[in-house]
Amino acid sequence: MKTTANIFKRHSYREIWLRAEALLALALILEVILFTLYGRRFSTWDNWMNILRHSAEIGLLAVALTPVIWTGGIDLSVGSTLGLSAVAFGQLWRDAGMDPWLAGVASVGVGTICGAINGALIVWIRIPPLIVTLGTYSLFRGFAEALAKGVDTFTGFPEGFLWIGSGQWLGIPVQIWIFSCVALMYVTADWKTVLGRNWKAIGCSEQAAYLSGINIQKYVFSAYLMAGTVAGIAAITYSSRLGSIKADAGFGYELLAITAVGLGGVRLSGGKGSVLGATLGVLALGILNNGLGRTPLTMNYSSELGGVLTGALLIGAIALSVRRGSP
Amino acid sequence: MKKTVHEISVAVTLLLLLGAMAIWTPSFYDPQPLLSRTTSAVPKMMIAVGVSLALVTRHIDISTGSMLAICCSVMGMISQTGHGWTLTWAAGIGVGMALGAVNGALIAGLGLPSIIVTLAMMFALREGVRLWTQGVFINLKPNAQWFGLEMVSAQWAIVVAGLSLTLAVVWSSRFLTVGRYFYLIGSDPESAFEAGLPVRRITFMSFVLNGTLVGLAAGLTVAQAPQVDPGIGQGLELEMIAAAVVGGIAVNGGRGRLWGVMVGMALLVCIAPALTYMGVAAYWEKAIQGVIILAAVSAEGIRKSGTQISIGNLD
Q: pLDDT tens for residues B166-182? A: 999 999 988 998 889 99
Q: Are A129 and A122 in contact (CB under 8 A)?
A: yes
Q: Hey, are the CB atoms on B297 and A131 less than 8 Å from each other?
A: yes
Q: What pLDDT is stored for residue A13 in this prediction? A: 56
Selecting from B286, B310, B315 the residue whose C-beta is nearest the C-beta of A206 gives B310
At residue B304 the predicted structure's pLDDT band, cuts being 50, 70 and 90, is: low
Phi, psi (degrees; rounded to nearest 5) at B256 = 120, 150
Distance between B108 CA and the closest CA of chain A, angstroms: 12
Q: What is the pLDDT of residue A99?
A: 85
**Cβ neighbours of A201 in B, within 8 Å:** none
Beta strands at A154-155 and A172-173: parallel, antiparallel or unpaired: unpaired
Which chain A residue has the Cα nearest residue B303? A125
Contact: B312, A129; criterion CB under 8 Å = yes
Residue of B nearest to A142 (CA): B287
User: Is the CB of A73 less than 8 angstroms away from the CB of B314?
Assistant: yes
CB contact under 8 A, A136 and B294: yes
The contacts of residue A240 (CB under 8 Å, 6+ apart) are A157, A161, A162, A163, A164, A165, A166, A175
B116–A74: do the CB atoms touch at under 8 Å? no
- CA dihedral angle for residue A266, residue A270, residue A274, residue A280, rounded to 10 degrees: 20
ipTM of the complex: 0.74
B287 with A134: Cβ contact below 8 A: no
Contacts with A137 from chain B: Cβ below 8 Å = 238, 290
Q: How far is B273 from chain A (nearest CA, A)?
A: 16
With an 8 Å Cβ cutoff, are B241 and A140 in contact? no
pLDDT tens, B261-281? 999 999 988 888 888 887 777
| pLDDT level of residue B305 (50, 70, 90 thresholds) | very low
In angstroms, the CA B158 to CA B147 distance is 10
Q: Are B213 and B219 spatial neighbours (Cβ–Cβ below 8 Å)? A: no
Dihedrals phi, psi of B228, to nearest 5 degrees: -105, 130
Q: Which chain A residue is nearest to residue B307, measuring alpha carbons?
A: A126
Angle at which helix B114-133 crosses helix A302-323, to 10 degrees, equals 160
Q: Average per-residue pLDDT in chain B?
A: 85
What's the 3-state SS for B94-137? HHHHHHHHHHHHHHHHCCCCHHHHHHHHHHHHHHHHHHHHCCCC
Of A311 and B105, the structure prediction assigns the larger pLDDT to B105
Could you tell me which chain A residue has the CA closest to the CA of B313?
A72
Task: Tell me the count of A-B CB pairs closer than 8 A.
Answer: 192
Question: Block means of pLDDT (10 residues each) for chain A, length 327 residues?
Answer: 46 56 82 85 84 90 93 90 93 85 92 94 84 86 86 82 81 88 91 87 86 88 94 93 86 85 82 87 89 79 80 77 55
Chosen for mutation from A65, A131, A153, A258 (greatest number of chain B CBs closer than 10 Å) is A131
Contact across the interface for A304 and B128, Cβ inside 8 Å: yes
Measured CA to CA, the distance from residue B234 to residue B219 in angstroms comes to: 17
Search chain A and give the residue with CA nearest B238. A134
Q: Which residues pair with A172 in a beta bridge?
A: A169
Question: How far is A171 from chain B, CA to nearest CA, in Å?
Answer: 35
CB contact under 8 A, A139 and B309: no
In this prediction, residue B306 carries a pLDDT of 40
Find chain B residues with C-beta within 8 A of A140's C-beta.
290
**What is the rounded CA–CA span in Å between residue A166 and residue A156?**
14
pLDDT computed for residue A3 by the predictor: 47
Query: What's the rounded Cα separation, in Å, for the pair B259 and B52?
Result: 10
| Interface contact flag, A305 B251, Cβ < 8 Å | no
Q: Which residue of B has its CA nearest to A322?
A: B112
Q: Do A305 and B293 touch (CB under 8 A)?
A: no
d(CA A137, CA A75): 9
Given an 8 Å threshold on Cβ–Cβ distance, is A135 in contact with B242? Answer: yes
Q: Which residue of chain A comes nearest to B252, CA vs CA?
A: A128
Tell me the shortest Cα–Cα distance from A32 to chain B, in angstroms. 22
- Please tell me which of the candidates A131, A255, A269 has its beta carbon nearest to residue B113: A269
- By C-alpha distance, the chain A residue nearest B121 is A311
Which residues does chain B have within 8 Å of residue A72's beta carbon, measured at their own beta carbons?
311-314
Which of the residues A2, A80, A87, A126 would you substitute to probe the B interface, choosing the one with the greatest number of B C-beta atoms within 10 Å? A126
Q: Which of B73, B99, B103, B127 to mutate: most A Cβ within 10 Å? A: B127
Which residue of chain A comes nearest to B280, CA vs CA? A146
pLDDT score for A326? 47
3-class DSSP state of A184: helix
Q: What are φ and ψ of residue A155, in 5° steps?
A: -155, 180
Put simply, the answer to whether B116 touches A301 (Cβ < 8 Å) is no
Q: How far apart are CA B136 and CA B230, in angstroms?
A: 7
Among candidates A149, A308, A318 on the partner chain, residue whose Cβ is nearest the Cβ of B112 = A318
Which site among B134, B302, B311 would you substitute to test the A interface, given the most A Cβ atoms closer than 10 Å to its Cβ? B311
Q: Round to whole Å and give the CA distance between B292 and B286.
A: 10
- Which contiguous run of DSSP H or E holds residue A172? strand A172-173
